[in-house]
């Protein structure tokens, strides 16, 4: 399985216009793993960086500003890469959990980012059968949040991996 991709690979796999990808790179919304250094060299993206670009696309599609979305992407990608390099916890987050808080310093970003590992649980009735269409989520001891946004990062990764396999 290939783990490094050119700009052309990313454009083809994620069906993103080359100009948009270049613009996002120039504005710092996304980062190449290895930047192009002069004429004739190419930017290289790790698989994790491609996941980040796919996440940015999804968040922009959901209505996030690129500046906010790029912060989420940076936190997500750097977390994945650092754990991969440390060869510690290799489990990748299935769900990204972003929390907007009401009690915050106005000079800071309006949200806190937490990467939530694992899956949400399905509630069960008294007979132990799953209740369809319901998912349990509870964060104890935290009453400051106003909005919680959950993104199924597993689906984003699967879709990116499928598309990347077609350009390898």
Cβ partners under 8 Å of residue 21, min gap 6: 7, 10, 11, 30, 53
Is the whole-model pTM more than 0.85? Answer: no
How does the average pLDDT of the chain come out, rounded? Answer: 77
- The 10s digit of each residue's pLDDT in 127-165 is 888 777 666 555 555 556 566 677 788 888 899 999 999
Quickly list H helices, 1-134: 7-14, 18-26, 47-61, 66-86
Which domains, ranges and CATH numbers included, belong to the chain? 4-167 (1.10.1660.10)
- The 10s digit of each residue's pLDDT in 57-66 is 998 998 888 9
């Amino acid at each position: 399985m290939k783990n490094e991709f050119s700009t052309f690979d990313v454009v083809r796999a994620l069906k993103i216009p080359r100009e948009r990808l270049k613009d996002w790179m120039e504005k710092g919304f996304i980062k190449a793993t290895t930047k192009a250094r002069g004429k004739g060299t190419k930017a290289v993206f790790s698989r994790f960086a491609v996941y980040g670009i796919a996440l940015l696309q999804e968040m922009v599609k959901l209505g996030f500003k690129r500046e906010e979305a790029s912060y989420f992407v940076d936190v997500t990608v750097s977390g994945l890469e650092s754990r991969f390099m440390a060869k510690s916890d290799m489990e990748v987050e299935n769900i990204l959990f972003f929390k907007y808080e009401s009690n915050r310093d106005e000079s800071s970003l309006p949200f806190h980012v937490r990467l939530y590992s694992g899956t949400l649980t399905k509630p069960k009735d008294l007979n132990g059968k799953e209740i369809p269409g319901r998912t349990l989520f509870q964060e104890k001891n935290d009453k400051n949040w106003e909005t919680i946004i959950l993104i199924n990062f597993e689906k984003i990764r699967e879709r990116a991996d499928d598309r990347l396999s077609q350009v390898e």
